[in-house]
């Protein structure tokens, strides 16, 4: 699929999900229904390998799937940058996963925004597909035990501390 068609499809799906009321506000999962988060290993923009299992039993993880062309992703990443310290205080590791773009493009974008948390690369969108990401930005909150406590297109910051309890 040509890149312009893929971008159009991402945007179309995102706006359809917003119009249908699928905004992530009510996607916090009940403890008994929490699914195990799919394992992954990706390279960060510096070439280091990062696995989800690196954090299991140690920290909760906040994943955000994003792209450079998404205006909502830019706002979301800037907001996460501002909240990084409070998330660290809650024992949450942030991993920003770029979906489908080159390392050069993602790295340049991350530098322009001054992102100071881990930016991972998913150039073939394998991890994005495993997490059923349909639009960006998409957030996942993973508990220390490796279970998905939340997924949605908007992050519920006010409820974040209760979502990561396990």
Q: Which residues contact 145 (CB under 8 A, 6 or more apart)?
A: 56, 57, 166
pLDDT band at 19 (very low <50, low <70, confident <90, very high): very low
Q: Is the pLDDT of residue 32 over 90?
A: no
pLDDT band at 75 (very low <50, low <70, confident <90, very high): very high
Pick 21 or 125 by higher pLDDT.
Answer: 125
Q: Is the pLDDT of residue 33 over 80?
A: no
List the end-to-end C-alpha distance of the chain, in Å, as a whole number: 41
Rg (CA), the chain: 15
**Containing structural domain, residue 22:** 3-163
3-state secondary structure of 81: helix
Q: Is the pLDDT of residue 29 over 60?
A: no
The structural domain count of the chain equals: 1
State the pLDDT at residue 163: 80
The 10 Å Cβ neighbour count of residue 6 is: 14
pLDDT per residue as tens digits for the range 129-160: 999 999 999 999 999 999 999 999 999 887 88
Within 28-157, where are the H helices?
Answer: 71-89, 103-113, 126-130
Q: Round to whole Å and give the CA distance between 166 and 149.
A: 9
The domain that contains 90 carries what CATH number?
3.40.30.10
Burial of 37-66, coded b for 16+ CB within 10 Å and e otherwise, reads bbebebebbeeeebebeebbeebbbbbbbb
pLDDT per residue as tens digits for the range 51-74: 999 999 999 999 999 999 999 999
State the pLDDT at residue 114: 97
pLDDT band at 166 (very low <50, low <70, confident <90, very high): low
State the pLDDT at residue 30: 45
**Among 12, 35, 41, 13, which residue's Cα sits nearest to residue 140?**
35
Q: Round to whole Å and give the CA distance between 117 and 124.
A: 22
């Amino acid at each position: 699929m040509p890149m312009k068609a893929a971008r159009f499809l991402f945007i179309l799906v995102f706006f359809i999900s917003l119009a249908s009321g699928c905004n992530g506000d009510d996607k916090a999962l009940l403890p008994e229904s929490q699914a195990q988060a799919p394992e992954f290993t990706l390279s960060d923009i510096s070439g280091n390998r990062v696995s989800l299992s690196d954090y299991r039993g140690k920290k909760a993880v906040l994943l955000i799937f994003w792209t450079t062309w998404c205006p909502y992703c830019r706002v979301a990443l800037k907001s996460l940058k501002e909240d990084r310290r409070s998330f660290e205080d809650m024992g949450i590791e942030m991993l920003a996963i770029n979906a489908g773009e080159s390392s050069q493009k993602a790295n340049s974008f991350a530098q322009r925004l001054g992102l100071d948390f881990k930016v991972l690369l998913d150039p073939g969108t394998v991890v994005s597909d495993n997490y059923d990401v349909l639009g960006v930005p998409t957030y996942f909150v993973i508990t220390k035990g490796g279970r998905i406590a939340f997924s949605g297109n908007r992050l519920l910051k006010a409820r974040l501390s209760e979502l990561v309890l396990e």
